[in-house]
């Protein structure tokens, strides 16, 4: 099998392949450049943080909605049978903390 290409065609192929290789080497150089690597790492971290913050927001929102549902009726009125005991416990805890801090100082 003989190659039926002319020397000009062979030379054109060589030039084209050199240009393709130069483009490829430029792309590799950009990818391995420290600024590119740092930028990619920052973008990945930012994306991970955004996802984590989003998940945390959804979880907190769900908890707040659950707590609100436990202490209010569907119409938004407070459920006194649940609010009053919770308030008493909160006041007692604050009282214990204040009492404990006064004993520590004195």
* Torsion over CA: 39, 45, 48, 53 (sign): negative
- By C-alpha distance, which of 66, 60, 61 is closest to 82? 66
Per-residue pLDDT of the chain (106 residues; tens, 9 = 90+): 456 899 999 999 999 999 999 999 999 999 999 999 999 999 999 999 999 999 999 999 999 999 899 999 989 899 999 899 999 999 999 999 998 888 777 6
């Amino acid at each position: 099998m003989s190659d039926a290409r002319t020397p000009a065609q062979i030379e054109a192929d060589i030039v084209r392949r050199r240009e393709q290789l130069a483009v490829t080497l430029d792309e590799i150089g950009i990818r391995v450049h420290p600024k590119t690597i740092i930028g990619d790492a920052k973008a990945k971290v930012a994306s991970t943080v955004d996802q984590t913050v989003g998940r945390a927001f959804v979880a907190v929102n769900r908890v707040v909605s659950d707590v609100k549902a436990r202490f209010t009726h569907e119409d938004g009125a407070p459920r006194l049978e649940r609010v009053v005991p919770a308030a008493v416990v909160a006041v007692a805890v604050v009282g214990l903390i204040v009492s404990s801090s006064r004993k520590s100082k004195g």
